[in-house]
Amino acid sequence: MGDPRGFLTVPRSKSKVLPVVERLKNYHEFVVEPASEALKAQASRCMDCGIPFCHQGCPLGNLIPEFNDLVYQGRDDEARERLLATNDFPEMTGRVCPAPCEASCVLNLRGEPVTIKDVERHLALTYDAAPLARAAETGKRVAVVGSGPAGLAAARNIALAGHAVTVFERDDRIGGLLRYGIPDFKLEKELIDRRQRQLEAEGVAFRVGVALGKDVELEALAADYDAVVLALGARVPRPLGLSTTVSGASVDGASLGGVHYAMDFLEAQNREVAGDRPNSCNVHGKHVVVLGGGDTGADCVGTSNRQGAASVTQLELLPEPPKERGASDLWPAWPMTLRTSTSHDEGCTRTFAVRTTRLLADASGTRLAGLELVHVEYMDGSLTDIPESTFTLPADHLFVATGFVAVEMVEMLTKAGISVDSRARIVADPQTGETSRKNVYVAGDASRGASLVVWALADGRRVAAAVNASLRG
């Protein structure tokens, strides 16, 4: 390494962000890119650790010590080549990946990992996205259904191998959850548009507004193409499962006005930012509750703050993790520390260890008025309600961000000979991604279940390699 003692002399320093008052004015990204010298100093902290656990922590197997060392030496072009050798879209992961590589860094033993994500984003920032040369045409045709990160990674690597690739996307623009799930303040959509132009130059054709099972059938794709890759995602949200009482009768709480599934809210806001149409759900001056403490919930927090919500409360079923790790902590508490999103800094009350027992309707019986909650504690391996701890929380809007459970169109897939397991995930060979139907493959959340963008990219690359190997015999 260029500076094997850099981790001893340079403290960890993350990229700065704009003040809250500035970033709440719009939906633009707000990370302030560090100066080149500051970034080189951070890259110098990548120690000669012998066993780079960051390789295993990164689903893509990025060559992290190599590109960190090259950045430290001021050889950014070579560093970028190392990064792009394993990661097709580092501008995406450099923004939305939770950086398991940093969690795996040896320096994280003392809570000061190398700022790998910042270095990665910097290298992608100066990338011109020039198309790569394709291999000789093979005459083979491949259909990719879905243009999220798994579909795009698969399509690109199959096209570069010389096959003709067509991506079918049901929405009006490509990107999947990158486009219509992740807010613009975390990922501006020009990055996706730029990549689309690059992929088209590399031989990928896109057909948007074409839905599987409606505009095109799987049987037709399997007959017309030499291989089909299903990158459908796992878009079915976990059901709310809460009721309310109206005129003495119990009704599904999800039917109340003011109750929204998180992804519906986020997609509508992204479309408004894109200039399509106003978001029909505007929480300006309203009291918002977000059910679910994960990233999707945090995105609802940030979006609500930008709309001007009067208050935002985020509920989490699990107990609050410690703010710092302690050597005496026992599993499973030891590796857990309290994580905060930049959205939480913008104004949010986080309430932990509470279970929602029912929803409360207003006098008309048609709109949400609040939630009934009970405090819980972790006892004997399970969460248990604390007696006499029930309380209510007023709410004008509730965003349900409790995760995703299934791939869509299970019945159609099963009829087409695609095996689906009890959790509504497409069953596939773990190495090749081939499903129970020959020459039909699956990548990303459709087989893995809802997961990270970086895992979707890794799945797309893995399946592309299997498709290429199969088509070339």
Output the domain CATH number for residue 211. 3.50.50.60
Do 19 and 100 lie in one domain? The reply is: yes
Do 181 and 330 lie in one domain? The reply is: no
Tell whether the model's pLDDT for residue 330 goes beyond 80.
Answer: no
Q: Which residue matches tokens 């599904």?
A: 252
Is 136 within a domain? no
The amino acid that residue 113 corresponds to is P
Q: Please tell me the distance from the alpha carbon of residue 471 to that of residue 473, in angstroms, as a whole number.
A: 5
Is 462 within a domain? yes
Q: Please tell me the distance from the alpha carbon of residue 58 to that of residue 100, in angstroms, as a whole number.
A: 6
Is 132 within a domain? no
Which residues constitute the domain of residue 38? 6-125
Do 257 and 383 lie in one domain? The reply is: yes
Which pLDDT value is given to residue 337?
65
Which pLDDT value is given to residue 328?
45
Is 327 within a domain? yes
Structure letter (DSSP) for residue 134? P
| Structure tokens given for 45 | 């902290």
| Structure tokens given for 343 | 């959205």
Name 313's Cβ contacts closer than 8 Å, sequence gap at least 6. 287, 288, 289, 290, 348, 349, 350, 351, 393, 395
Q: Please tell me the distance from the alpha carbon of residue 441 to that of residue 426, in angstroms, as a whole number.
A: 10
Measured between alpha carbons, how far is residue 132 from residues 16, 88, 199 in Å?
33, 11, 9
Q: What is the pLDDT of residues 145-183, one digit of tens each?
A: 999 999 999 999 999 999 999 999 999 999 999 999 999
String of b and e for 284-310 (b: at least 16 CB within 10 Å)? eebbbbbbbbbbbbbbbbbbbbbbebe
Name 103's Cβ contacts closer than 8 Å, sequence gap at least 6. 57, 113
Do 254 and 397 lie in one domain? The reply is: yes
Which pLDDT value is given to residue 324?
67
Confidence of residue 331 (pLDDT cuts 50, 70, 90): very low
Identify the CA nearest to 156 among candidates 174, 179, 183: 174
Taking residues 215-235, what's their average pLDDT? 97
User: Among 367, 402, 437, which residue terminates a domain?
Assistant: 402
Q: Residues 399, 290: contact at Cβ < 8 Å?
A: yes
Which pLDDT value is given to residue 326?
55
User: Among 370, 402, 434, which residue terminates a domain?
Assistant: 402
Do 330 and 446 lie in one domain? The reply is: no
| Best mean pLDDT range from 15-19, 110-114, 127-131 | 15-19
Taking residues 247-273, what's their average pLDDT? 90
Do 369 and 449 lie in one domain? The reply is: no
Q: Residues 360, 370: contact at Cβ < 8 Å?
A: yes
String of b and e for 370-387 (b: at least 16 CB within 10 Å)? bbbbbbbeeeeeeeeeee
Query: How many Å from the N-terminal Cα to the C-terminal Cα in the chain?
Result: 42
The amino acid that residue 133 corresponds to is A
Q: Please tell me the distance from the alpha carbon of residue 32 to that of residue 18, in angstroms, as a whole number.
A: 7
Do 391 and 453 lie in one domain? The reply is: no
Q: Please tell me the distance from the alpha carbon of residue 244 to that of residue 361, in angstroms, as a whole number.
A: 7
Is 135 within a domain? no
Do 386 and 438 lie in one domain? The reply is: no
Q: What is the pLDDT of residues 38-74, one digit of tens each?
A: 999 999 999 888 889 998 899 999 999 999 999 999 9
Which pLDDT value is given to residue 126?
74
Taking residues 442-456, what's their average pLDDT? 96
Q: Please tell me the distance from the alpha carbon of residue 287 to that of residue 28, in angstroms, as a whole number.
A: 24
Tell whether the model's pLDDT for residue 329 goes beyond 70.
Answer: no
Is 365 within a domain? yes
User: Among 402, 426, 457, which residue terminates a domain?
Assistant: 402
Is 1 within a domain? no
Do 337 and 416 lie in one domain? The reply is: no
pTM of the shown model: 0.94
Is 395 within a domain? yes
Do 149 and 63 lie in one domain? The reply is: no
| Full DSSP string of 203-231 | TEEEEES--BTTTB-HHHHHHHSSEEEE-
Q: Please tell me the distance from the alpha carbon of residue 275 to that of residue 261, in angstroms, as a whole number.
A: 22
Q: Residues 306, 185: contact at Cβ < 8 Å?
A: yes
What's the half-sphere exposure (Cβ side, CA atoms, 13 Å) at 386?
14
Q: Which residue matches tokens 């930012």?
A: 273
Confidence of residue 321 (pLDDT cuts 50, 70, 90): confident
Output the domain CATH number for residue 11. 1.10.1060.10
Which pLDDT value is given to residue 335?
53
Which pLDDT value is given to residue 113?
94
The structural domain count of the chain equals 3
Do 79 and 194 lie in one domain? The reply is: no
Do 149 and 231 lie in one domain? The reply is: yes
Dihedral (Cα; 97, 103, 105, 107), 10-degree rounding: 130
Taking residues 252-264, what's their average pLDDT? 92
Tell whether the model's pLDDT for residue 2 goes beyond 90.
Answer: no
Q: What is the pLDDT of residues 354-411, one digit of tens each?
A: 999 999 999 999 999 999 999 999 888 788 999 999 999 999 999 999 999 889 899 9
